[in-house]
């Protein structure tokens, strides 16, 4: 069930049972089939009540962030490498204006080399500077620090021309909840300066921290749109744990995840069945969860759903992205 603020809950499979068996023998032809998969995810979520998560601290943080952006020389936007489009704030570019931006795709260890190359080529063609990072292990953080300083070299050139003393470059770290902003900063600083945990909503206030003599970093709370109009993106946020768990019902989200995974050659239905030692001929996520629940959890579909979501987040099906670049 998907929870609606102040409303009711609705199980999507009560409105529409979806059988994807027609796709069993179809091959997956990269871009075209990724587009078809995106279209199917949109179709599966069509009968869902909207997934919305907008805690009170986000509204306050958004207002403060817009003010702090005026002080930034460089903006570092952090996205989840598994879902770069779904973790892109629709208003971010309008807030930034002409400020220089670095895009960080965090959790690069959770996607395949093919996924990484596809996104690297996509953003390169757009002229966007992108850094692939792993905030937990520190991969990509030093490159990020050097790039931020490089992009802002003109700041102190202009100050010297005016007879002013140089100052540290100011870089703001922005992005959706739980994409790893605080972890990146802590790795850059090599010490825990910003609270970080693997759940959305841990950072609740803006905080400037100094990195050496040349760089200041602003850690900010995750910023979401007040209304998420793209519900296919909202489901992906739920799958990747980038949105509060109170905003969705695990069985609904896990059922859609199962249907997505059965379509991806890197996983497929056989991999799911072998992992959980169950038989399932069709690709209906609801039926798969019901069988898994009977096999392992005494019929408790909610526990089965939590297991599937947890296994995906831990890479038990392999490290794969849920999105590929649009054409």
- According to DSSP, the β-strands at 74-80 and 100-106 are parallel
Q: Where is the binding site, in residues?
A: 106-109, 178-183, 222
Given a contact cutoff of 8 angstroms between Cβ atoms, the answer to whether 222 and 181 are in contact is yes
Q: How many CA atoms lie within 13 A of 156 on its CB side?
A: 13
Distance CA 77, CA 93 (A): 10
User: Within 10 Å of residue 83's Cβ, how many Cβ atoms?
Assistant: 23
**What b/e string do you get for 211-246 counting C-beta neighbours within 10 Å, with b at 16 or more?**
beeebbbbbbbbbbbeebeebbbbbbbbbbbbbbbe
The residues facing 174 across adjacent strands are 77
- Calculate the CA 46 to chain-centre distance: 21
Is the Cα dihedral 244, 63, 4, 14 positive or negative?
negative
Q: Where is the binding site for GTP, in residues?
A: 106-109, 178-183, 222
């Amino acid at each position: 069930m998907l929870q609606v603020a102040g409303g009711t809950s609705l199980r999507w499979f009560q409105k529409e049972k979806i059988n994807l068996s027609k796709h069993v023998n179809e091959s997956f032809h990269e871009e075209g089939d990724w587009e078809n998969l995106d279209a199917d995810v949109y179709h599966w979520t069509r009968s869902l009540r909207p997934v919305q998560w907008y805690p009170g601290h986000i509204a306050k943080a958004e207002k403060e962030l817009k003010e702090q952006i005026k002080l930034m020389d460089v903006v570092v936007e952090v996205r989840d490498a598994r879902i770069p489009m779904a973790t892109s704030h629709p208003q971010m570019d309008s807030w930034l204006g002409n400020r220089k931006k670095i895009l960080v795709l965090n959790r690069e260890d959770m996607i395949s080399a093919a996924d990484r190359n596809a996104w690297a080529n996509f953003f390169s063609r757009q002229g966007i500077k992108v850094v692939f990072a792993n905030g937990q292990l520190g991969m990509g953080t030093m490159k990020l620090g050097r790039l931020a300083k490089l992009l802002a070299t003109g700041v102190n050139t202009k100050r010297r021309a005016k007879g002013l003393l140089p100052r540290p470059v100011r870089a703001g770290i922005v992005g959706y909840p739980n994409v790893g902003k605080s972890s990146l900063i802590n790795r850059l600083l090599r010490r825990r300066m910003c609270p970080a945990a693997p759940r959305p909503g841990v950072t609740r206030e803006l905080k400037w921290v100094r990195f050496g003599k040349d760089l200041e970093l602003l850690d900010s709370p995750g910023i979401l749109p007040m209304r998420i109009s793209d519900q296919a993106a909202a489901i992906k946020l739920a799958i990747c744990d980038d949105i509060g768990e109170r905003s969705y019902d695990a069985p609904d989200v896990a059922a859609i995840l199962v249907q997505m995974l059965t379509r991806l050659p890197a996983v497929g239905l056989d991999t799911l069945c072998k992992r959980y030692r169950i038989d399932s001929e069709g690709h209906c996520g609801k039926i798969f969860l019901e069988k898994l629940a009977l096999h392992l959890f005494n019929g408790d579909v909610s526990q089965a759903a939590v297991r599937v979501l947890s296994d995906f987040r831990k890479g038990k099906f392999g490290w794969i992205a849920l999105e590929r670049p649009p054409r």
